[in-house]
Structure 1
Amino acid sequence: MLINLSNHPATSWGAPQRAAAAPYGPIEDWPFPAIPPEWDDRQVAALAQRYARRITDRLREAGPGPHAVHVMGEQTFTCTLVRLLQQKGILCLAATSHRIVEEDPTRGRKIAYFRFVRFRKYPVCLQSS
């Protein structure tokens, strides 16, 4: 199973991204939580702990793997959650893409498109002292 913890549901993914996710089996979309900018480190860490427990429980329920979690969102929460999941031996992935920008200077617009390239494993995130 691949848990897609992002604000981009798998139904919006193109064929290359769905193909890259296929080795993990079914994809389960989880919306990325809204992280208030006023929160301090402890509040972010507490939410990450809750998500780590939910994800661990869900992957256990899913049975034998391979399993992975695609985590894309607010950076401090992502870093904290990835570290917690890695401590439990859970593979965490980020999507990489080419950013294609079209500019229309006459209208003052800029449109960005993202073309998926691959999933990349998060490096081991260590707890700082």
Structure 2
Amino acid sequence: MLINLSNHPASTWGKAQREASRMYGEVEDWPFPLIPPEWDAHQVAGLAQDYAERIVRRLNEAGGGRHAVHVMGEMTFTCTLVRLLHQRGILCLASTSQRIVEEDPASGKKIACFRFERFRPYPCLQALSF
């Protein structure tokens, strides 16, 4: 199972992203939580802990097989949640894309499109060496 914790439901994904997700079987959409800008680090960590527990419970319910969590959203929550999930041995993924920008000559407005390229695992912080 792939839990898609983002504000982009799998039904809106392009063909390449849907195909890349197939290795995990079912995709289950979870909307990314709103993180108030006035929250401090402890409040963010508390919410991340709640989500980590819910995700672990859901993946256990899903049974065997390949599992991962696609996490794309507010950065402090994402960092905290990914760290908590890694501590539980859960693979976390980010989606990568090509940013294609075109300018409308008539209006001068820039239009940005994002073309999915691949899922990239978040690195396990304990394993990083520079």
Write the letter of the residue equivalent to 1:53. E
Provide the residue aligned with 2:51 in structure 1.
51
Partner Cα distance (2:97, 2:46) in 1: 30
Provide the residue aligned with 1:35 in structure 2.
35
State the Cα distance separating 1:105 from its structure 2 match.
5.2
Provide the TM-score with structure 2 as the length reference. Answer: 0.94
Provide the residue aligned with 2:112 in structure 1.
112
Partner Cα distance (1:105, 1:39) in 2: 42
Partner Cα distance (2:76, 2:125) in 1: 12
Provide the residue aligned with 2:79 in structure 1.
79
Provide the TM-score with structure 1 as the length reference. Answer: 0.94
Which shifted more, 108-117 or 55-64? Answer: 108-117
State the Cα distance separating 1:77 from its structure 2 match.
0.2
Task: Say how many residue pairs are matched.
Answer: 126
Partner Cα distance (2:58, 2:125) in 1: 22
Provide the residue aligned with 1:25 in structure 2.
25
Identity %: 72
Structure 2 gaps, min length 5? none
State the Cα distance separating 1:109 from its structure 2 match.
1.6
Provide the residue aligned with 1:64 in structure 2.
64
Structure 1 gaps, min length 5? none
Write the letter of the residue equivalent to 2:29. D
SS in 2 for 1:102: strand
TM-align CA RMSD: 1.0
